[in-house]
C-alpha cells in the first residue's frame, strides 16, 4: 500500500500541531497537510487528493460536518475520521460514512488504530483477512473434539497458558494466548476490556457500574470487568458498532 496523504482540519493550534505530529509518526503516513478551519481545508483540496481527513467538528465557518459533506462529493473521497470532545455527533458522523470517531483526549494507540482502519479500507478486502483466522476454534474436551464458532463467544478470559472462551452455552479452554486472539479477532469485533479479558462487542447488552467490581460489560454469558485503562476505547468501539448495527445482539 502506498503511504497515506492525510489532511488535518482543526482550529485550535496546539491540538492541530499535536495531531499532525502524531499522524506523521505513523509508519503508513507519508504526508500530513494541516488546515486551521473548514474554509482553508476546502481550498487545500486543489493541492491534490487525500487518502484521509481528520476533522474537528465545532469550528468557525464551515464545520467538520460541512467539510465531510463536501469531501463525500469528490470522485475519490478520502476516508473521514472525526476528532472531537463530544460524542453527541456520532450518529450523524457514521451516517456520513466516517471510518472512525475519536474522542479527545485520545491515546496514541487509539490514533494508530484509526490509521490502521483507514489503511484497510483504502486497500480494499484482502483474501485471507485476519478476520477469518480462527473463525471456528477447535478445543479438546474429555477425549472429544469440540468446534466452537467465534461469533458464539461472548468473551475470552486469560487462564494461565490457556484462554477460557465463554458463551451462553458454557465455557471451553483453548491453548492460545489472549494477546494472539486480540490480534486475529480485532477485525471481527473483539476488544480488550481488561488485561485479562477480551470481549465480543456484539455480545454486550449494556455497561453497568457495580459497587464491587466497578464498571462491567454485561453479556448473556456473564459480566466482564472493564478496567479504567480500556474503558474509553471500549465505549468508542461499542458506540461505533451500535451505529453499524453490530452491538448488543
Tens-place pLDDT, residues 89-129: 887 887 888 888 898 988 888 899 889 888 877 765 433 44
Residues with Cβ within 8 Å of residue 144, at least 6 apart in sequence: none
User: In this predicted structure, what is the pLDDT of residue 126?
Assistant: 39
User: In this predicted structure, what is the pLDDT of residue 91?
Assistant: 75
User: In this predicted structure, what is the pLDDT of residue 132?
Assistant: 54
Indicate the helix (H) or strand (E) that contains 74: none
- Kindly state the cell numbers that stand for 192: 480488550
Indicate the helix (H) or strand (E) that contains 69: helix 64-72
The answer, yes or no, to whether the previous bond of 105 is cis (omega within 30 of 0) is yes
User: In this predicted structure, what is the pLDDT of residue 213?
Assistant: 78
Model confidence at 130, pLDDT cuts 50, 70, 90, reads very low
The chain-wide mean pLDDT, for the chain, equals 87
Residues with Cβ within 8 Å of residue 229, at least 6 apart in sequence: none
User: In this predicted structure, what is the pLDDT of residue 176?
Assistant: 81
User: In this predicted structure, what is the pLDDT of residue 160?
Assistant: 80
* Structural domains of the chain, with CATH: 4-123 (3.40.50.2300), 130-243 (2.40.50.1020)
Coil, strand or helix: which one is 205? coil
User: In this predicted structure, what is the pLDDT of residue 64?
Assistant: 96
Q: What average pLDDT does range 229-234 have in this prediction?
A: 91
- Kindly state the cell numbers that stand for 198: 477480551
User: In this predicted structure, what is the pLDDT of residue 143?
Assistant: 66
Coil, strand or helix: which one is 144? strand
Chain mean position to CA 127: 21
Amino acid at each position: 500500500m502506498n503511504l497515506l496523504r492525510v489532511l488535518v482540519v482543526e482550529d485550535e493550534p496546539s491540538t492541530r500541531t499535536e495531531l499532525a505530529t502524531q499522524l506523521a509518526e505513523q509508519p503508513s503516513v507519508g504526508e500530513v497537510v494541516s488546515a486551521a478551519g473548514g474554509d482553508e481545508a476546502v481550498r487545500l483540496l486543489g493541492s491534490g487528493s487525500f487518502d484521509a481527513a481528520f476533522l474537528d467538528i465545532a469550528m468557525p465557518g464551515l464545520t467538520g460536518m460541512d467539510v465531510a459533506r463536501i469531501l463525500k462529493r469528490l470522485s475519490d473521497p478520502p476516508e473521514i475520521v472525526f476528532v472531537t470532545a463530544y460524542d453527541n455527533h456520532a450518529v450523524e458522523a457514521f451516517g456520513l460514512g466516517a471510518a472512525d470517531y475519536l474522542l479527545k483526549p485520545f491515546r496514541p494507540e487509539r490514533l494508530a488504530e484509526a490509521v490502521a482502519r483507514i489503511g484497510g479500507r483504502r486497500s480494499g478486502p484482502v483474501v485471507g483477512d485476519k478476520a477469518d483466522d480462527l473463525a471456528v476454534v477447535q478445543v479438546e474436551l474429555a477425549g472429544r473434539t469440540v468446534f466452537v464458532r467465534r461469533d458464539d463467544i461472548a468473551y475470552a478470559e486469560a487462564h494461565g497458558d490457556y484462554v477460557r472462551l465463554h458463551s451462553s452455552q458454557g465455557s471451553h479452554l483453548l491453548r492460545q494466548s489472549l494477546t494472539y486472539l486480540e490480534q486475529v479477532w480485532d477485525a471481527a469485533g473483539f476488544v480488550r476490556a481488561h488485561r485479562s479479558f477480551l470481549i465480543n462487542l456484539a455480545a454486550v447488552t449494556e455497561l453497568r457500574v457495580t459497587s464491587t467490581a466497578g464498571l462491567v460489560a454485561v453479556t448473556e454469558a456473564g459480566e466482564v470487568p472493564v478496567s479504567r485503562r480500556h474503558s474509553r476505547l471500549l465505549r468508542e468501539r461499542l458506540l461505533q458498532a451500535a451505529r453499524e448495527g453490530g452491538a448488543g445482539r
